[in-house]
Amino acid sequence: MARGDLAIVERWLSGVNAGDRVSVLDLTSANVEIVGPRGVGRGHALLADWLARAGFTSQGRRWFCGADGRVVVEQDAAWTAPGGPASQARVASAFVVREQLVSRFERFDSLIRALSSVGLAEADEVRARTE
């Protein structure tokens, strides 16, 4: 388990919650792969656009970490779809961290699907986190 990867994801999500675009981009690979309800895209420009319009915030509930930079976070999340009402849901996000940068981010509607997408399981849950 690579706890350093988990710490990077924690800082990334804190930056998203604070609306701190600079910090989020500093923690993200220039060619980041972003997978969401609208499909797959890459790069800082796409991430910056999402940060500006989505109004996404989340509270991490459960954290999972494996080898090779794989991290999943179950979250209580809120966001605003463009031109639509605010939404809230329990979601899960899967991350891949490479060279201390988030290189892949994907949001799922269920924890089971997020874990499966990166090859993690319930046994990979991190119950105590310290820096």
Q: Which residues pair with 89 in a beta bridge?
A: 77
| Beta carbons of 73 and 125 less than 8 angstroms apart | no
Q: How many Å apart are CA 100 and CA 67, to the nearest integer?
A: 13
What is the predicted pLDDT for the residue at 131? 47
What is the predicted pLDDT for the residue at 130? 57
Along the 131 residues of the chain, how does pLDDT read in single tens digits?
467 899 999 999 999 999 999 999 999 999 999 998 778 999 999 999 989 888 889 999 999 999 899 999 999 999 887 677 888 999 999 999 999 999 999 999 999 999 999 999 999 999 876 54
CB neighbours of 124 closer than 8 A, spacing ≥ 6?
A: 1, 64, 65, 66, 72, 115
